Amino acid sequence: MVICYDNNILHSPEHFEHNAKQAIEHKLTLDYNQGLDHRKLTPEIVDIMKSFKHKEYHFAFDSPNSIDTVEYAIDLLQSKGIMRCNWYVLCGHNTTHAEDLFRLNYLRSRNQNAYVQRFKTKANEHSKRLITLARWANQHRMFQGMTWEQYLKHPDNKSISYLQNIE
């Protein structure tokens, strides 16, 4: 497997296509673990993405304002047969808990995986909430298997029940 650390490779579609052709030629699996820019997806790029072996694709959903472009990207990917991707979700940076939860629930409703990236803050109620949110979302089987509310009510989580009434 080749891990590609170019976090903006879709900015240069020719470079992306060249990498894909090399991966096919040498029977390599590519992992774009820095994430791909979902705003740069086109039907042609998604066709190229499907042409080589890859690890789960990663994208970012850093702002609630990106919902339209995220929705378009998921629709496009799924229409071409890429049914699930992993979405990095920056939480706690210029967003409320409700906005963070909205993005996570949206991804869950679209059968996507999420990975909460917590904005670093001093230890307080806010940071505890982000840690708990990450514990739920970053475990894909748990994230897909239960809602946030179910997670909070789970018997193993009695110590975090105070989070149920936040925002």
Q: Is the pLDDT of residue 141 over 80?
A: yes
Could you tell me the CATH number of the domain that includes residue 66? 3.20.20.70
**In a domain? residue 30:** yes
What is the Cα–Cα distance from 53 to 117, expressed in whole angstroms? 26
pLDDT band at 167 (very low <50, low <70, confident <90, very high): very low
- pLDDT for the residue numbered 161: 55
Rounded percentage of the chain residues whose pLDDT exceeds 70: 90
**In a domain? residue 102:** yes
pLDDT of 45-62, one tens digit each?
999 999 999 989 999 999
Q: What pTM, to 2 d.p., does this model score?
A: 0.88
Name the residue range of residue 81's domain. 2-122
- pLDDT for the residue numbered 6: 85
Query: What's the mean pLDDT when you consider all of the chain?
Result: 90
